[in-house]
Amino acid sequence: MSTRPEYTPIDAASRWPLLLLLVKGIGWLVVAGILSLTASIQLHTPGFLSGCPLFTYGRTAAMAETAFVYGWLGNAGLALALWTLGRLAGEPLRAQSWALGGAVFWNLAVFGAVVGIAVGDATGFELLGLPRYVHLLMFFSYASVAVSGLLAWSGRLRQVSYASQWYAAAALFLFPWILSIAHVMLFTAPVRGVLQPIVAGWYAQSAWTLWLAPLALGAAYYVVPRVTGRVLPSYEFAALGFWCLIFVGGLTGGRHLLGGPVPAWIPSLAVVSCALLLFHTFIVLLNLRGAFTGSGTALKFISFGLAAYVLGALADALTSLHGVALHTQFTYFDEAQKQLALYGAASTLLIGAIYFALPRITGKAWFSAGLVRAHLVLTVVGILLLLVSLLGAHAVQSQGLLDAAVPFADIVRDSRPWLLAASFAQMILLFGSIAFLANFYTTACEILLVSEPAVFQAPAAQETHAA
Amino acid sequence: MSTPANRDPRVDQAALSDQDLVDLHEKQLGRHPDDGARYRLLPIGILFTLSALILFSGTYLNRYTGHYSASIFDENAKPTTGAPVAVKLDPVAVGRKAYGEVCITCHQPTGTGVVGVYPPLAGSEWVNGPSSRVVRIVLYGLKGDIHVEGHVFNAAAMPVFGKVANSAYNWNDAKIAAVLTYVRQEWGNKAAEVSADEVTAVRTATGDRKEMSEAELEQVK
């Protein structure tokens, strides 16, 4: 078996925007890791950095979320969306300067957002802590990157399309849409009173179901069959799963408003939508189940991410029910759910796809096998430990908060060991991210040092007709 | 078509080219699910799952959405038909609440008032007398001497409660009627209840005016 990746002229031509997006994304992953660790420490040791207003808990938590979602997931998701759309189009990416310029400004916007939150300009909405002055820049820079991807979609050589393309193209369209709606309804012409949490809840949920999840799934749908070499089982239902997500995904926002002062039909509609979304999850699981038996780094990450995705959807559906929400709402369970979705599912799916993509983009294998293994082990252990510790803290909270006889100070004291464990997990994840960044950086530098990278001819067994 | 072993973690080999990826999946789509009139198990399972979820969703939406009304906040509210029914409030309960918020400070929880300062309500001939007089006292307030059960009270003035000029509280007619009804039926008082219409009638007939005095009240029948 040759270790040479199938490096094609298509990738050689379009690698600069992709590498820029990826290196920025992984850089933000490390930044987000540091900030998450800080925020996590402040939960059990409130004195930590409390003298420095730039890094008090409210700000570090919002900065960590912003750096993670818009810095890491946004950049990496965009890179993989462009890459899969370009590969499946069969042509080098067009409008690359748009993608490059967009990537530069997107990262400026994320940087501005993180600094803005540090100096106290956060908005206070979940997943939309971005200060309002970066919204326009984010909108236009994202749209600029998306131009390149959409040209690859519309200019594809063949009429037929594949599931990855649907998910990637949808994510390119949908993020500017949800961001602009949220911006207009919350900032430009703010709706009043109870409408605000409804819009904010819709945005927070849609950013996950209509933006991050499609980005991650598009990458996974591309990598799984390419590595396993098998047609996806039950692929004829993939379109049904896709449209189920697009139609129902945005309606699940009301699950954040259970028991809130909103008309009853909004949370009820969210309960139903969470249940219907299980159908989408079921189809995704059926389609991608080959990942669990495949081999290689990419599929190890992707199978973990897929398991987390399914588990997360089940948790969403269960906790949207009133009886369950009584025990899980307003505890660390919320945080565990968020980490399961953003880190467990979206991040690991994207990381797996990056492990598959980078050798093809650069023409070089990853620099160090040890760092790859270390990243895999640290990520899996870190996420599992983080989830277990947050669930432990949740158990303490939910028992204590429902019992009027238990003083609040006792709940704080009893959940402290679990929060210490969560900080430890954040540290493990941070080490994993640093290993990932180091490996990526050295691999990417290899191609910067040689002026003209060698173009590998793909092994005949792989690139010629394999069926 | 074989799956590569992928022993080197540094690079994953692909077993399918991009072209094959698109072509083979397109071919898969072209296949009819009932080729040879044999339904495969999986499509039926998927159909069943979707139907079950839709059944659950339909039932849930029917039961817990309060008919998509913007004013129903409790998902367990029983669905009602026709126009919404106005809720009938118990005037005694409304009156007790209003009394507890304001009147209680001077007239005391037991309705006995304070000797020499605030006149008693329990057993008072004014409270148990004609409703037209007490309505005016609460609506417009009262200033100057007043004789209750043989004692004179003049140390404090009764504030203006009605929706009239210089009102201290701006209570609506129904609230005034409710608090009077409560006072006239509590602490052993046994006078008839006061209707909101009666308060409205007095207020519209009299209009704005200064506080009542005992002499003026005695002219009211």
Model pLDDT, residue A7: 67
What residue of B is the nearest CA neighbor of A265? B65
Mean pLDDT value of segment A188-212: 92
Tell me, yes or no, if A456 comes closer than 8 A to chain B by beta carbon: no
Name the pLDDT band for B28 (thresholds 50, 70, 90). confident
Residue A327 is assigned to a structural domain of this protein: yes
Tell me, yes or no, if A407 comes closer than 8 A to chain B by beta carbon: no
* Percentage of residues of chain A with pLDDT beyond 90: 69
Q: If you write DSSP's letter for every residue of A220-276 in order, what string do you get?
A: HHHHHHHHH-SPPTTGGGHHHHHHHHHHHHGGGGGGGGTTSSS-THHHHHHHHHHHH
Nearest to A162 among B1, B5, B25 (CB): B25
**Do A147 and A71 belong together in one domain?**
yes
The pLDDT of residue B30 is above 90 = no
A282:B33 CB<8 A: no
The pLDDT of residue B3 is above 60 = no
Range of lowest pLDDT (A48-52, A445-449, B210-214): A445-449
Tell me, yes or no, if B40 comes closer than 8 A to chain A by beta carbon: no
Per-residue pLDDT tens over the stretch B123-141 = 888 888 888 888 888 888 8
Model pLDDT, residue A322: 85
Report chain B residues whose CB lies below 8 A from the CB of A227. 3-4, 6, 12-15
Query: Looking at per-residue confidence, does A98 or B207 come out higher?
Result: A98
Name the pLDDT band for A467 (thresholds 50, 70, 90). very low
**Do A402 and A298 belong together in one domain?**
no
Q: Which residues contact B126 (CB under 8 A, 6 or more apart)?
A: B119, B133, B134, B137, B146, B148, B217
Name the pLDDT band for A3 (thresholds 50, 70, 90). very low
Q: Which residues contact A219 (CB under 8 A, 6 or more apart)?
A: A77, A80, A81, A84, A164, A168, A349, A350, A352, A353
Facing residues of B114 across strands?
B118
**Do A329 and A411 belong together in one domain?**
no
Name the pLDDT band for A456 (thresholds 50, 70, 90). very low
Residue A466 is assigned to a structural domain of this protein: no
Last-in-domain residue among A301, A329, A359: A359
Report chain A residues whose CB lies below 8 A from the CB of B8. 3, 365, 369
**Do A175 and A135 belong together in one domain?**
no
* Percentage of residues of chain B with pLDDT beyond 90: 5
**Do A258 and A150 belong together in one domain?**
no
Q: What is the mean pLDDT of chain B?
A: 82
Question: What's the token pair of residue A406?
Answer: 């238990």
What residue of A is the nearest CA neighbor of B49? A279
Q: Which residues contact A221 (CB under 8 A, 6 or more apart)?
A: A162, A163, A164, A167, A232, A238, A287, A288
Q: Tokens 């650069």 — which residue? A: A362
**Do A39 and A113 belong together in one domain?**
yes
Mean pLDDT value of segment B175-204: 87
Q: Tokens 């933006």 — which residue? A: A211
Mean pLDDT value of segment A136-143: 96
**Do A339 and A443 belong together in one domain?**
no
Tell me, yes or no, if A259 comes closer than 8 A to chain B by beta carbon: no
Question: What's the token pair of residue B211?
Answer: 């506080």
A268:B61 CB<8 A: yes
SS3 B151: strand
| CA-wise closest residue to A43 among A64, A29, A66 | A64
Given a contact cutoff of 8 angstroms between Cβ atoms, the answer to whether A366 and A355 are in contact is yes
Burial A417-440 (b: 16+ CB within 10 A, else e): ebbbbbbbbbbbbbbbbbbbbbbb
Model pLDDT, residue B137: 87
Can you tell me the distance from the alpha carbon of B7 to that of A3, in angstroms, rounded to the nearest whole number? 10
Query: Shortest Cα distance from A87 to chain B (angstroms)?
Result: 7
Model pLDDT, residue A423: 97
Mean pLDDT value of segment A132-139: 94
Q: Which residues contact A35 (CB under 8 A, 6 or more apart)?
A: A60, A63, A64, A67
Last-in-domain residue among A323, A340, A359: A359
Mean pLDDT value of segment B65-77: 83
Query: Which amino acid is it at B148?
Result: V
**ipTM strictly over 0.85?**
no
Domain with CATH 1.10.760.10 in chain B: 91-219
Nearest to A275 among B21, B25, B53 (CB): B53
Nearest to A1 among B5, B25, B64 (CB): B5
B1:A467 CB<8 A: yes
| CA-wise closest residue to A276 among A250, A301, A258 | A250
Query: Looking at per-residue confidence, does A218 or A449 come out higher?
Result: A218
Model pLDDT, residue A282: 94
Mean pLDDT value of segment A228-240: 89
B53:A276 CB<8 A: yes
What residue of B is the nearest CA neighbor of A465? B20
Model pLDDT, residue A464: 41
Tell me the HSE value of B55 on the side-chain side, using a 13 A CA sphere: 6
Nearest to A3 among B8, B15, B26 (CB): B8
Report chain A residues whose CB lies below 8 A from the CB of B73. 261-264
Tell me, yes or no, if A230 comes closer than 8 A to chain B by beta carbon: yes
Range of lowest pLDDT (A210-214, A373-377, A393-397, B19-23): B19-23
Q: What is the extent of the structural domain holding A289?
A: 164-359
Report chain B residues whose CB lies below 8 A from the CB of A235. 25, 28-29
Mean pLDDT value of segment A116-122: 93
Residues in chain A: 467
The pLDDT of residue A1 is above 60 = no
Which of B2, B6, B10, B59 would best serve as a mutation to test chain A binding (most A beta carbons within 10 A)?
Answer: B10
Range of lowest pLDDT (A194-203, B150-159, B171-180, B181-190): B150-159
Burial B16-42 (b: 16+ CB within 10 A, else e): bbbbbbbbbbeeeeeeeeeeeeeeeee
Nearest to B75 among A87, A268, A294 (CB): A268
The enclosing domain of A53 has a CATH number of 1.20.120
Mean pLDDT value of segment B166-188: 86
Q: What is the CATH number of domain B91-219?
A: 1.10.760.10
Can you tell me the distance from the alpha carbon of A40 to that of A36, in angstroms, rounded to the nearest whole number? 6
| CA-wise closest residue to A429 among A39, A46, A20 | A39
How many structural domains comprise chain A?
3
Residues in chain B: 221
**Do A168 and A317 belong together in one domain?**
yes
The enclosing domain of A229 has a CATH number of 1.20.210.10
Mean pLDDT value of segment A92-113: 94
Can you tell me the distance from the alpha carbon of A135 to that of A121, in angstroms, rounded to the nearest whole number? 13
Model pLDDT, residue A420: 96
Query: Which amino acid is it at A396?
Result: V
Model pLDDT, residue A5: 59
Residue A1 is assigned to a structural domain of this protein: no
Model pLDDT, residue A455: 47
Name the pLDDT band for A77 (thresholds 50, 70, 90). very high
Last-in-domain residue among A119, A135, A161: A161
| CA-wise closest residue to A206 among A152, A277, A278 | A277
Model pLDDT, residue A151: 92
A229:B68 CB<8 A: no
The pLDDT of residue A458 is above 80 = no
Can you tell me the distance from the alpha carbon of A26 to that of A430, in angstroms, rounded to the nearest whole number? 11
Mean pLDDT value of segment B75-101: 76
B74:A264 CB<8 A: yes
**Do A212 and A259 belong together in one domain?**
yes
Model pLDDT, residue A462: 44
Q: Global pTM?
A: 0.78
